[in-house]
Structure 1
């Protein structure tokens, strides 16, 4: 099977390349920054393409059996292309290219973030409205993606479209990327090895996670079956603040979300912290999802539970894990290296308002 993957150097893209090795697969990766041919990136062919300003070349998609669209600016730095240019414009360019090239299969990475909030402990199915969370640009972007895919499926029924709606996706190799999103450059990785370090979280937080390898397996199954439509992806169990603290070896310090949001916004504005408070809003308001369809229709079963996922990710943060791609590069070791990449005084990452 000949597959073209956008965002192939990212968290899920890297896991997918690891999985689709072997003579049965021919993978072409599209990326803004082409990685060196090492590790997972060695088996793919590569095409440099910045979807924020350019469409995938028609000749790359011609004769492809499927396109897997994973490119998405999740928490871009201030120096990166604007989120809307990559996410909205880039997706439209990919969809137009799929039609021009006559590609019969599209697998698109959406998110549970597209769903509207639900009662805190209710599990929602794929029929729950995809109106998004008002206070999160990431969520609103995924909701717009769903509307775009609705219109695409209606106008081009000859293209079979699968929408993956995973919860938070982690793996050890993504620790560098996500660490740059979550941790202030002033915080060394060694702090995470301190016994019982304080971890401020609100009591009502509940978190679903899934391993990047398990999301990649769902993509593989979608490519090999007739399945189309949306499908939720999440592992068990749901984690609470005390669970997170235990798995990180930390001490849970209860703190109201409004207080954490106010402090986070102040630190984000001056560039001391990369995390925008919109992410806290999303973590609080995103619903829990039911994965019956994935298991019964797609035949998907996660190989990693949420405790394994978080433990591996925490180990990656402490060990500065990463890959050869710029997207998943290890977090810089020295504080001055980290500060040089994100000079304080202005936001280091784009707003999620």
Structure 2
């Protein structure tokens, strides 16, 4: 029998969106795996520092010819996404949906054996108040661009799978993803300049706002990366929920910080957020806040049983690490994650320039 490239040299993995929150962790996980023979990292802007054993190629999924970039790959991991500008959903649609569909078409054209796609808890329909498994409907929340885009791409993957029965398709659906090195990006994407990192010190606050209906699951970026690494190596397919315990709400965090939770109606928070967003003072939209309030909780049993995956960090630990990163001004030397985006002024960041991975 003729040996394949994987038999001789290890798998060739192409990581699209390799310089972002999850991308940097996925690249680290793949580097540490002796079964991975070659790593090609694609992103629109070059990282500040290169990594040994990683071939970086500048690539814009909305415009560049993607077929040569994925040609000969054993696995393509699709992590490319932009969250901003929320005031211009056409721009995010062009990148997140149309750009991703161009990548899917390239994978199909080149007959890549495996496609691993980063979906999200945001793809799911509003939750029933109990953890849901991977069979829960993925119709998203129609009010927010992020959830609409994630849900739409789930339908596109359904069609892709029907056309490409020989391609192994994996859909990761993680909760909120944090690590220290993503603190600078998180502040830019969701808080803006009105929330300096050094002021994010909940442990010094005697009270914390307990927003009605707000609860979610968090997971560390390295744990998400481990799920991708496992799915790269194992002959698995289908969707996997990825999240850590415990379920997070303000009462959980208040207990950790020794603070007292003070009930705050969600409608008041939304009204304030809508006013600030309308004035371009914060980048996070009130529609995204609506979607977050409706997210289901995730049952991660399939990831544990099929991938052999379990998180090494609790959800609280992931959040605390990110908060510590905010206080220290932590970042990562890639354009999406570093504190200062080259050539970036705040009004450019607020409109989305420099946010694409």
Give TM-score scaled by structure 2 length.
Answer: 0.88
Please report how far the alpha carbon of residue 215 of structure 1 lies from its aligned counterpart in structure 2 after TM superposition.
0.7
CA distance 1:52–1:60, change in 2 (3 Å): closer
Task: State the secondary structure of the residue aligned to 1:182.
Answer: helix
Contact 1:320 1:331 in 2 (8 A): no
Aligned to 2:266: 257
Contact 1:248 1:314 in 2 (8 A): no
CA distance 1:273–1:211, change in 2 (3 Å): same
After superposition, what is the alpha-carbon deviation per residue over 1:101-140, rounded to whole angstroms, capped at 9, x for unaligned? 22101100001111111222x1111111111112221111
After superposition, what is the alpha-carbon deviation per residue over 1:25-54, rounded to whole angstroms, capped at 9, x for unaligned? 21111111111234xx44421111111233
- Return 248-257 or 281-290, whichever deviates more: 248-257
Aligned to 2:4: none
Contact 2:30 2:39 in 1 (8 A): yes
After TM superposition, the structure 1 = structure 2 runs for residues 1-353 of structure 1, keeping only pairs within 5 Å, are 1-22=11-32, 24-25=35-36, 26-38=38-50, 41-56=51-66, 58-76=67-85, 82-120=91-129, 122-193=130-201, 195-196=204-205, 199-247=208-256, 252-330=261-339, 340-342=345-347, 348=351
After superposition, what is the alpha-carbon deviation per residue over 1:236-265, rounded to whole angstroms, capped at 9, x for unaligned? 010111223455676544221111111111
Give TM-score scaled by structure 1 length.
Answer: 0.89
Structure-2 separation of matches of 1:112 and 1:99 = 26
Provide the aligned C-alpha RMSD in A. 2.5
Contact 2:180 2:322 in 1 (8 A): yes
CA distance 1:308–1:99, change in 2 (3 Å): same
Residues paired across the two proteins, number: 339
Contact 1:247 1:310 in 2 (8 A): no
Structure-2 separation of matches of 1:128 and 1:37 = 41
Contact 2:21 2:221 in 1 (8 A): yes
Contact 1:123 1:289 in 2 (8 A): yes
Please report how far the alpha carbon of residue 59 of structure 1 lies from its aligned counterpart in structure 2 after TM superposition.
2.5
Please report how far the alpha carbon of residue 328 of structure 1 lies from its aligned counterpart in structure 2 after TM superposition.
0.6
Structure-1 separation of matches of 2:96 and 2:348 = 26
Please report how far the alpha carbon of residue 200 of structure 1 lies from its aligned counterpart in structure 2 after TM superposition.
3.4
